[in-house]
Structure 1
Amino acid sequence: MREFLVEITTRVPADVPAEEVDRRRAAEAVRARELADAGRLFRLWRPTGETRSLGIWRAEDEERLRTDVLGSLPLWPWMTAAVTPLEPHPNDPGTA
């Protein structure tokens, strides 16, 4: 399983009813928990004062990350994602 740094920005189209946005956001929270429980979503942050998120996600490769993991998010149709594949650093204190 590979790790990826993913920066996600969500832009809801102006013509989407508030009820639909609320429904998808609630479903998004459920799906994020499922992905975390499955070991696909490892960490997730939101920069202070911003609406984008930064996370460490896991998948077999970038294609499967985009299709099977991120693509399963209810808000995915309104998201853009910058994906950076990661590899271990020899000085990573987490591996000592």
Structure 2
Amino acid sequence: MTTHVSDRADEQRFEIADDDGTVLGVAEYQRRDGVVVFTHTEVDPRQEGHGIGSTLVREALDAVRAAGDRIEPRCPFVRAFVADHPEYADLVADPTR
């Protein structure tokens, strides 16, 4: 299955969808002063265990990096992803939180 991630800024979330446009997961956020605060990530239960959530978060973090912004990972999934992928640790705005 081919997927693509898009930033739905008007809805304050990144979405991952399949080729048919079916949304498979979302990573919700709030933006403030150059920081993207990730608040909630959810994947369709039928898609769990297939790497959909990891793909979603990886591409969202890559988009944040490309924009020159930082992150605040309030969402447990995003926090765990960053902990497991130290190449994204530099994006955390306040690593002590």
For the aligned pair, the TM-score class normalised by the smaller chain equals: 0.3 to 0.5
Q: Which has the larger radius of gyration?
A: 1
Query: Which protein has the bigger strand share?
Result: 2
TM-score (norm 2): 0.32
Q: Which has the higher contact order (CA 8 A, sep 6+)?
A: 1
TM-score (norm 1): 0.32
